[in-house]
Amino acid sequence: MPLSTEKILQIALDLAGLTEAPADTGIQVSGAHLEKILAGIDIGPAELLLARHLGCGLALAHHPTGGSTSLDFHKVIERQVGQMMSVGVPEAAARAAIAELQENRRLTANNGNYGHNPSFAKALGMPYMNVHLPCDIIGRAILDKAARSKVGPNGTVQDVIDGIASLPEYQGDPVQPVCVLGSPDNPAGAIFTATAGGTNGGAEVAKAYFTHGVDTLLYFHLAYDNLKKLRAMPEAAGKNLVLLGHMPADRVGINPLLAALEKEGAQIIRISGL
Ligand SMILES: [Fe+2]
Ligand SMILES: [Fe+2]
């Protein structure tokens, strides 16, 4: 069966072990008989025009592209509650740790021009979709395994970094995993990969992990203000935070989906971080 936007979504959900599309993932303009696909981490109006220019039948983004994928993005942050509870954070404390972040993202989306990108795709008649959380779930399993792969009984934070850096997506990339709190020489201790929760949980979520036994926490990224807040928290003393690097870490989760589409016969043109 030739690829359609719906079939691509199903392939992504199957790879991630999900039964339905999460709030941050969706089809803006449906398409069928897709052979040539323009894929990028961010796809907006300029890239939609590029897709048309290159004769592509679909523009496939990773990050939310507007519409409900942006307006309801805050809902996927909810996933972080379960992740925190898995290390023993009480549910009420886990919900409190994401409350500000969720409200911030809800307001930001509400204030934004949610129809901008989809309106371009509709006017162009260009099939357009994004797959966010499913790819981040696929990537989290790979990143977590790699993070532990070089850590022996007395392993250090540097061993965690080396494990991540050994993934193909990091080869030759100017962005590498970096320890921004603690030290690469510290023992790694208990490692937790806090990704696939919409976005990073900021200082409050990191504090929750650190107070419940996590020694080395892995985030995709963290804003500087949150890092400063975290460094000032007594709960973070002696703990470690490794930033995986947004683009290479995102690629780790997107590449398995693109490989599956290539197996189905699609030709992929990679742009925007891929
Ligand atoms: Fe991602
Ligand atoms: Fe991302």
Shared domain for 39 and 143, answered yes or no, is no
Shared domain for 39 and 80, answered yes or no, is yes
- Report d(CA 191, CA 209) in Å as an integer: 10
pLDDT for 261 beyond 80: yes
Shared domain for 85 and 180, answered yes or no, is no
Q: How far does Cα 60 stand from its chain's mean position?
A: 15
Contact (CB, 8 A) for 20 and 251: no
Q: How far is the CA of 218 from the centre of ligand 1 (A)?
A: 14
- Number of domains forming the structure of the chain: 2
Q: How far is the CA of 272 from the centre of ligand 1 (A)?
A: 13
Q: What is the pLDDT of residue 212?
A: 98
Banded pLDDT at 34 (limits 50, 70, 90): very high
Q: What is the pLDDT of residue 259?
A: 98
Banded pLDDT at 2 (limits 50, 70, 90): confident
29: left (phi over 0), alpha (psi -120 to 50) or beta: beta
Shared domain for 236 and 260, answered yes or no, is no
- Measuring CA to CA, how many Å separate 25 from each of 6, 134, 168? 12, 8, 26
Q: What is the pLDDT of residue 126?
A: 98
The ligand that comes nearest to the alpha carbon of residue 133 is: 1
Q: How far is the CA of 244 from the centre of ligand 2 (A)?
A: 11
Average pLDDT value for residue range 47-61: 98
Give this prediction's pTM. Answer: 0.97
Q: What is the pLDDT of residue 44?
A: 98
Q: What is the pLDDT of residue 19?
A: 97
- Report d(CA 143, CA 224) in Å as an integer: 23
Shared domain for 13 and 101, answered yes or no, is yes
Q: How far is the CA of 174 from the centre of ligand 2 (A)?
A: 17
Average pLDDT value for residue range 11-29: 98
Q: What is the pLDDT of residue 97?
A: 98
Shared domain for 98 and 161, answered yes or no, is no
Shared domain for 232 and 218, answered yes or no, is yes
For the record, the structure tokens of 34 come out as 């897709």
Q: Which domain holds residue 98?
A: 5-132+251-271
pLDDT for 262 beyond 80: yes
- Measuring CA to CA, how many Å separate 224 from each of 181, 227, 243? 12, 5, 12
**Three-state DSSP string of the chain:** CCECHHHHHHHHHHHHCCCCCCCCCEEEECCCCECEEEEECCCCHHHHHHHHHCCCCEEEECCCCCCHHHHCHHHHHHHHHHHHHCCCCCHHHHHHHHHHHHHHHHHHHHHCCCCHHHHHHHHHCCCEEECCHHHHHHHHHHHHHHHHHCCCCCCEHHHHHHHHHCCHHHCCCCCCCEEEECCCCCECCCEEECCCCCCCCHHHHHHHHHCCCCCEEEECCCCHHHHHHHHCCHHHCCCEEEECCHHHHHHHHHHHHHHHHHHCCCEEEEECCC
- Report d(CA 159, CA 179) in Å as an integer: 11
Q: What is the pLDDT of residue 123?
A: 98
pLDDT for 43 beyond 80: yes
103-130 pLDDT tens trace: 999 999 999 999 999 999 999 999 999 9
Q: How far is the CA of 154 from the centre of ligand 2 (A)?
A: 32
CATH number for 92: 3.40.1390
Shared domain for 11 and 113, answered yes or no, is yes
Shared domain for 9 and 128, answered yes or no, is yes
Q: What is the pLDDT of residue 248?
A: 98
184-242 pLDDT tens trace: 999 999 999 999 999 999 999 999 999 999 999 999 999 999 999 999 999 999 999 99
Q: How far is the CA of 24 from the centre of ligand 1 (A)?
A: 11
- Report d(CA 146, CA 140) in Å as an integer: 10
55-110 pLDDT tens trace: 999 999 999 999 999 999 999 999 999 999 999 999 999 999 999 999 999 999 99
Contact (CB, 8 A) for 220 and 250: yes
Q: How far is the CA of 42 from the centre of ligand 2 (A)?
A: 9
Q: What is the pLDDT of residue 257?
A: 98
Q: What is the pLDDT of residue 61?
A: 98
Shared domain for 112 and 172, answered yes or no, is no
- Report d(CA 55, CA 126) in Å as an integer: 10
pLDDT for 1 beyond 80: no
Shared domain for 124 and 255, answered yes or no, is yes
Q: What is the pLDDT of residue 59?
A: 98
Q: What is the pLDDT of residue 219?
A: 98
Q: How far is the CA of 135 from the centre of ligand 2 (A)?
A: 10
Shared domain for 115 and 173, answered yes or no, is no
